[in-house]
Amino acid sequence: MTVHLVVTTATPDRKSGEQLAGSAVAARLAGTAQVVGPITSFFRHLGESGQGEEFNVTFKTTDARYAELEAHIIANHPWNKPEVTAVELVRGSADYLAWAEESTRRD
């Protein structure tokens, strides 16, 4: 049984989010990706609290492609230690999940 994932990261601007989304889909590491924002993030970094504008990037993929997608995000991200998280989809329409598998299948 295929495990389906929603993978997320955040970027400092729309352009870098769109580049990550487009390159991951083109490489078949994700079947789809969405860029949402701007959003306001509150965080702790280097021992201090902060606030800033970011863009969320969400990818749909399979567990089989996760390691490559994570490596792609990290290698192409403008930040040194970007957030890359994944949650398992526990439900989804059969047609959508089949499409996600086909879209991320290695050539």
**Domain span holding position 51:** 4-104
Residue-wise pLDDT tens digits, 49-80: 999 999 999 999 999 999 999 999 999 999 99
User: The domain spanning residue 91 has which CATH number?
Assistant: 3.30.70.120
CA-atom Rg of the chain in angstroms: 14
Q: What global pTM score does this model have?
A: 0.94
* Alpha-carbon span 44 to 13, nearest angstrom: 19
| Positive or negative: CA dihedral 36, 9, 99, 68 | positive
Residue 9 near residue 18 (C-beta atoms within 8 A):
no
Using CB atoms within 10 A of its CB, is residue 44 exposed (0-12), middle (13-18) or buried (19+)?
exposed
Name the percent of the chain lying above pLDDT 90: 95
